[in-house]
Structure 1
């Protein structure tokens, strides 16, 4: 069992776990039942940014329509349209040894597809979590349960992995945005 983090907490990854190069970022959630008529479709994405949290090219945005970074460093394993079942709903694999040097941060986000049209938001989502697993051993290194402190948000930055003095660290972010994926893209410097 890994370390349970709180919002805003930061932890060393590669310094305290020597040899950790390949990780799986597992994301999960449940949706509260309501009578809106539409199913929920939550989508994980990764924004690979410079030190100023800006994406420099479109290929540095990994999501359901662009699953693998050209470097092979980041791979989205595929879209889960329902979130049904136990465990991870979506996963993003990261190989720290392949991350190009201009990339200093990897923000992991989750958005609700067509949230505005479906009248959905993260206030209707529960048990959201992100966990980081050592791909080689299957050991859960850490877990961050987001809690229930969202209401109208349609996008959430779950966490950020970032370089610091040659090592990788994890930041439990848990910050919400209104405006869905488009708002997140603008936040990270991508034109929508």
Structure 2
């Protein structure tokens, strides 16, 4: 049975699931009906962070155009441009046992592509969630429903996996940002032109 988290909660992942190595982080969302005339294109991205909370180089930013990071231990399964249908809209596969030691935290984010020019924000998005499941058994381990707390934000840090005393834990963050992916990337030590 999956552990359901609220914003700000943290939970053990590997300690309570001994031997767990391959997990999938599924991210999903729905867009509300609105008459702005543009389709929504939401994107999930992953930032591989060091002890200082920053990426060490561009390859630590994993997304649809750079689908692998951490020597192949983090793999983004590609861009879903519509968000249509049930289930996860985008997924990231992670091998927890092969992540390089310099990666201490893995932050999962969702951004709205071209949000400002399309006049879109997370106030128009509903049912956003993140879940972590065992890739082998497909058992859902952790679920975090983000709720409807957002209005003008164009990017969200959903949550992060982080190392603690040799184990992996998950923190449900749910923080919104204005300025989209560029503002988010800058916070994580990356310049996006």
Alignment-derived partner of residue 92 in structure 1? 92
| Offset of residue 70 of structure 1 | 5.2
Structure 2 CA distance, aligned partners of 1:144 and 1:94? Answer: 18
Q: RMSD in angstroms over aligned alpha carbons?
A: 0.7
Alignment-derived partner of residue 47 in structure 2? 47
| Offset of residue 97 of structure 1 | 1.0
What is the CA deviation profile of residues 91-140 of structure 1, one whole-angstrom value per residue up to 9, with x for unaligned ones? 01111111000000000000000000000000000000000000011000
Unmatched segments (≥5 aa) in structure 1:
none
- Is the CA contact (8 Å cut-off) linking 2:70 and 2:99 kept in structure 1? no
Alignment-derived partner of residue 132 in structure 1? 132
- Count of paired positions: 192
| Offset of residue 64 of structure 1 | 1.2
TM-score (norm. length: structure 1): 0.99
The structure-2 alpha-carbon separation of the partners of 1:70 and 1:143, relative to structure 1 and needing over 3 Å to count, comes to closer
TM-score (norm. length: structure 2): 0.98
| Offset of residue 160 of structure 1 | 0.3
Which 4+ residue blocks in structure 1 deviate beyond 4 angstroms?
none
Alignment-derived partner of residue 20 in structure 1? 20
- Is the CA contact (8 Å cut-off) linking 2:70 and 2:100 kept in structure 1? no
Structure 2 CA distance, aligned partners of 1:53 and 1:27? Answer: 22
Alignment-derived partner of residue 8 in structure 1? 8
Unmatched segments (≥5 aa) in structure 2:
none
Structure 2 CA distance, aligned partners of 1:50 and 1:70? Answer: 11
Alignment-derived partner of residue 164 in structure 1? 164
Alignment-derived partner of residue 111 in structure 1? 111
